[in-house]
Amino acid sequence: MKAILKHGYKVLAVLIMLYVIPMAWTGEVSVQVILHETIRNLYWHVVMWFAMILMFGISVYYSASHLAEPSERKDIYALEFANVGMMFGIAGIVTGMIWAQFTWGAPWTNDTKLNGSAASLLIYAAYFILRNSVQDRVKREKTAAVYNIFAFVMLLILVGIMPRLKDSLHPGNGGNPGFGNYDDLKGSMAVVFRPAVLAWILIGIWIANIRIRIKTLQLKKEQW
């Protein structure tokens, strides 16, 4: 039973990915003007941001609980989930740039969402720099936890609130129709999109899990 819980989610992630990858390339999609077949990028680009927010969310949960009750384990969890979140963020930017190249005509535009996501990734990059610049372990963990909470709220504002106040080229903003308006998306695309979100989140947890174990072993070796 324990083994199923421990490894089951990894098997599930792989199985879902085996279903998602062929479906993403060959499945039925709603072909719109300008977008054409690039709408398939929905299965990659949008999913990355979902996974990123969740990874950063887990990270900030451990940071907050570290402030409430400090422990080295929580600090490692917060760090590694932030690392994986950063990976998803970079992947989200790159897939977005590819998509923008073919729909908007340029990989980077002066768009609220683009600026917001770039700024929030820079804020998280500063989190890693901050960690490295404090020598004392207890002080580092505390400062990093405080900054992580700060960074997460900034992230929510930059990618969640700011784009709603201003126009954006993204679907669903500034008079553009949201993807939810395409009727066929609710059927044939949702059955690929939703499992894809789950699979990437599971993969993120898997990567974080491996990294946490490596980090814990390294720490043990140092303290030996």
Partner 1 sequence: MIQRIYILLQKDLRLEFRSKTGLSSLLMYALGSVFIIYMSVGEPEQGFIWNALFWITLLYSCVNSVMRAFYYETSSLRLYYYQIAHPQEVIFAKQLYGYVLNTILLAVSFGAFALVLGNFVQNMPLFVLVSLLSTWGIGAMLTLISAISSQTNNAAGILPVLAFPVLLPLFLSAIKAASAAIDGEAFAQQWANIAVLGLFNILAWLFSYLLFPYLWRS
Contact 210, 74 (CB under 8 A): no
Torsion of CA 173, 176, 179, 180, to 10 degrees: 80
Q: Among 12, 97, 123, 207, indicate the residue that binds partner 1 (CB under 8 A).
A: 123
DSSP for 45-106, written as a single string: HHHHHHHHHHHHHHHHHHHHHHHHS--HHHHHHHHHHHHHHHHHHHHHHHHHHHHHHHHTSS
Residue closer to partner 1, measured from CB, 49 or 152: 152
Is 223 one of the binding residues for partner 1 (CB under 8 A)? no
Judged by CB under 8 A, the chain residues 137 through 166 that form the site for partner 1 are 138-139, 142-143, 145-147, 149-150, 153-154, 157-158, 161-162, 165-166
Is 216 one of the binding residues for partner 1 (CB under 8 A)? no
The whole-angstrom separation of Cα 196 and Cα 41 is 12
Is 7 one of the binding residues for partner 1 (CB under 8 A)? no
Shortest distance in whole angstroms from residue 79 CB to partner 1: 16
Residue closer to partner 1, measured from CB, 82 or 145: 145
CA distances in angstroms from 128 to 80, 134, 145, 224, listed in the order given? 11, 11, 11, 26
Shortest distance in whole angstroms from residue 59 CB to partner 1: 16
DSSP for 54-71, written as a single string: HHHHHHHHHHHHHHHS--
Size of the residue set binding partner 1 (CB under 8 A): 31
Residue ranges that bind partner 1, judged by CB under 8 A: 67, 115-116, 119-120, 122-123, 125-126, 129-130, 133-135, 138-139, 142-143, 145-147, 149-150, 153-154, 157-158, 161-162, 165-166
